[in-house]
Amino acid sequence: MQQLKIGDVTITSIIERDGPWRKPADMFPAYDPEVGARHLKTLDPVIFDPASGMMYITYQTFVVRTPHHTILVDTCTGEDKGYPAPMDFPKQRWLDEFKAAGLAFDKIDYVFCTHLHIDHCGWNTVLRDGRWVPTFPKAKYVFHKREYAAWEQATKEGKQPPGDVWRFNCEPIVAAGQALLVDDDYTLDDTVWLSPTPGHSPCHCCVNIKSGGQRAVVTGDLMHHALQCREPEWSTIFDWDAKEAAVSRRRFLGEVAGTGTFVLPIHFPSPTVGLVEAAGSGFDYRFVR
Ligand SMILES: [Zn+2]
């Protein structure tokens, strides 16, 4: 995705890493190889690498520029976190693309996190003199208050794998007074608002964007791969509550199917943005080029 324009808003992607990643059978416990093979034959070729048998999975941030604000949605894994492989992505590509998009750390107004996993809040903070501090000094960071509380609790119980995501990326934002701990009906203005899609994480949210009569939705990790549009019940090994994730996914896909709503799933490979159409008992994801 180079850039998506809806009304007065532009949405740009900043990529941290892309390429073949996991095999469907490793990602979806309910995966049926016969059904999967049938879908993969008719899905867009950008989503699967037949040579390795792996899905293409991208890690990216969306930059949403409205007439009033510059907003980042989800901030990849970041730098200096010391995460174990394979989550130790090189940082330079993200930094280069951030700069190429004409951005500067002190020009970001808001950071939204769809949820607080390792690959969605990394650039929230940077290490300065041995301390984690907000990367974007003037930004307000929007976290769902119960998502934040759930990871705080998990961290204190020693349950949050891998890395120390809450301590590194979330708590320092609250300590700096830059967090907005919100409910799942949070509305920034008449252009940007949240809607709840729990399951992948305790209080996962989508970020809705509306301008000039058009709508786009950053769907975070509501789905990781286009196979899950065909088979919404195929939750991933990373889902907090697999059943609830499937319910949220099917409900969302049903709501946007055939409406012309642009969908922006964080992990879908370039061109990323797509439209959803009803197809049999599931849905079809059509990339917009
Ligand atoms: Zn993710």
- Residue 175 alpha carbon to ligand 1 centre in Å: 25
- Residue 76 alpha carbon to ligand 1 centre in Å: 8
- Residue 54 alpha carbon to ligand 1 centre in Å: 17
Distances (CA, A) of 269 to 5, 13, 60, 146, 175: 18, 11, 9, 30, 35
- Residue 73 alpha carbon to ligand 1 centre in Å: 12
Residue 50 has pLDDT above 90, yes or no: yes
Structural contact between residues 135 and 91, judged by C-beta atoms closer than 8 angstroms: no
Residue 1 has pLDDT above 80, yes or no: no
- Residue 169 alpha carbon to ligand 1 centre in Å: 15
- Residue 103 alpha carbon to ligand 1 centre in Å: 23
Alpha-carbon gap, residue 274 to 46, rounded angstroms: 12
Q: What CATH class does 3-287 carry?
A: alpha beta
Place of tokens 């867009």: 44
Per-residue confidence at 2, pLDDT binned at 50, 70, 90? confident
Q: Read off the pLDDT of each residue in 148-173 and give the average, rounded to a whole number.
A: 89
Dump pLDDT digits (tens) for 161-191: 666 999 999 999 999 999 999 999 999 999 9
- Residue 163 alpha carbon to ligand 1 centre in Å: 14
- Residue 119 alpha carbon to ligand 1 centre in Å: 5
Strand duo 214-220 + 205-211: pairing: antiparallel
- Residue 267 alpha carbon to ligand 1 centre in Å: 7
Position 125, amino acid: T
Position 147, amino acid: E
The predicted pLDDT at position 159 comes to: 82
Percent of the chain with pLDDT over 90: 94
The predicted pLDDT at position 163 comes to: 67
- Residue 220 alpha carbon to ligand 1 centre in Å: 7
Q: Give me 124's structure tokens.
A: 């929230």
Per-residue confidence at 126, pLDDT binned at 50, 70, 90? very high
Name the residue ranges covered by the structural domains of the chain. 3-287
- Residue 61 alpha carbon to ligand 1 centre in Å: 11
Dump pLDDT digits (tens) for 257-282: 999 999 999 999 999 999 999 999 99
Residue 75 has pLDDT above 80, yes or no: yes
Q: Read off the pLDDT of each residue in 129-145 and give the average, rounded to a whole number.
A: 98
Q: Give me 109's structure tokens.
A: 């107004």
The predicted pLDDT at position 161 comes to: 62
Ligand 1 ion: nearby residues, β-carbon < 5 Å: 119, 221
Residue 284 has pLDDT above 80, yes or no: yes
HSE, CB side, 13 Å, CA atoms: give it for residue 166: 16
Contacts of 112 (CB under 8 A, 6+ apart): 71, 72, 73, 74, 141, 142, 192, 194, 207, 218
- Residue 221 alpha carbon to ligand 1 centre in Å: 5
Structural contact between residues 123 and 76, judged by C-beta atoms closer than 8 angstroms: yes
- For 121, phi and psi rounded to 5 degrees? -140, 15
Instruction: Single out the residue of 174, 281, 172, 287 nearest to residue 226, CA to CA.
Output: 287
Span of 1-5, 148-152, 211-215, 223-227 with lowest mean pLDDT: 1-5
- Residue 280 alpha carbon to ligand 1 centre in Å: 28
Structural contact between residues 4 and 13, judged by C-beta atoms closer than 8 angstroms: no
Per-residue confidence at 84, pLDDT binned at 50, 70, 90? confident
Percent of the chain with pLDDT over 70: 98
7 backbone φψ class: left, alpha, beta (φ>0; ψ -120 to 50): left
Q: Read off the pLDDT of each residue in 200-227 and give the average, rounded to a whole number.
A: 98
